[in-house]
């Protein structure tokens, strides 16, 4: 399948999604993965996880004319060694997605709606957010909450974030796509306001955030 979606946003960010339908061997040929990273991938026991890593590489190949060198900070946040572009990455068994911006910090998260998100209610939601849950599309709403909080977590790059206490998502009704408002409260009490966007496709939820309000 390859490139599933590429979209330039009004805030100059780019989001892109790759649907994984290729064999591992096909992804190796498509990805042009540097030798040292290819060796690292070869130690991953799960074929699905190896394919996800290779698909990220293939997707980056679609987005950049020259080869990019992907690395990670100590906290796991990805960065491009030879580009000033900020990047965030997410993946499931069927899709990988990235968001890019030349100036602003970014965050993105993707989840399959075939997962059961009931545990999110207890471990990641505040009492107000739990009160806002609707029975009709509860699992989808929980998935959007989780993706939104993960995207903000990736954007702020802080250690030990308590999703229930430090990230508050304003009330929303799940739709095919939409916007979310959120507040992140640092451990020093400093607050940041965020506007996020989300979309659903093929039983998946994708949420992203760029900069802050």
For residue 59, report the phi and psi dihedrals to the nearest 5 degrees: -65, -45
Name the average pLDDT for the chain.
Answer: 94
pLDDT for the residue 102: 95
Contacts of 145 (CB under 8 A, 6+ apart): 120, 124, 125, 129, 169
Asked if residue 206 has pLDDT above 80, the reply is yes
Q: Between 204 and 189, whose confidence is greater?
A: 204
Joined together, the tokens standing for residue 20 give 């994984």
pLDDT at 213: 62
Taking residues 203-207, report their average pLDDT.
Answer: 98
Residue 211, pLDDT > 90, answer: no
Query: pLDDT tens for residues 26-35?
Result: 999 998 888 8
| Contact indicator for 181, 161 with CB cutoff of 8 Å | no
Domains and CATH numbers, the chain: 2-102 (3.90.470.20), 110-210 (3.90.470.20)
What pLDDT shows up at residue 34? 84
Report the pLDDT value the prediction gives residue 212, as an integer from 0 to 100.
79
Residue pLDDT, tens place only, 137-149: 999 999 999 999 9
pLDDT value for 158 = 87
Distances from the Cα of 82 to the Cα of 67, 68, 71, 74, 88, angstroms: 9, 6, 10, 18, 16
d(CA 128, CA 140): 18
Round to whole Å and give the CA distance between 84 and 68: 11
Task: Give per-residue pLDDT as tens, 75-97.
Answer: 889 999 989 999 999 999 999 99
pTM of the shown model:
0.95
Specify the pLDDT at position 32: 83
Share of the chain above pLDDT 90, in %: 83
């Amino acid at each position: 399948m390859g490139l599933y979606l590429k979209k330039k946003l009004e805030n100059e960010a780019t989001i892109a999604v790759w649907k994984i339908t290729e064999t591992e061997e096909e992804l190796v040929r498509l990805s042009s993965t540097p030798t040292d990273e290819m060796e690292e991938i070869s130690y991953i026991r799960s074929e699905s996880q190896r394919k996800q890593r290779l698909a990220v590489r293939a997707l980056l190949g679609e987005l950049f004319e020259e080869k990019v060198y992907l690395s990670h900070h100590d906290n796991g946040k990805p960065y491009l060694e030879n580009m000033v572009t900020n990047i965030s990455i997410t993946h499931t068994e069927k899709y990988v997605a990235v968001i890019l911006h030349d100036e602003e910090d970014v965050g993105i998260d993707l989840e399959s709606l075939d997962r059961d998100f009931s545990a999110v209610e207890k471990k990641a939601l505040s009492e107000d957010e739990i009160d806002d849950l609707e029975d009709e599309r509860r699992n989808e709403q929980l998935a959007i909450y989780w993706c939104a909080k993960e995207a903000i977590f990736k954007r702020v790059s802080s250690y030990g974030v308590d999703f229930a206490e430090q990230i508050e998502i304003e009330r929303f009704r799940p739709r095919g796509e939409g916007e979310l408002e959120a507040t992140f409260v640092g451990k020093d009490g400093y607050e940041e306001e965020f506007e996020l966007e989300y979309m659903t496709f093929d039983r998946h939820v994708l949420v992203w955030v760029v900069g802050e309000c």
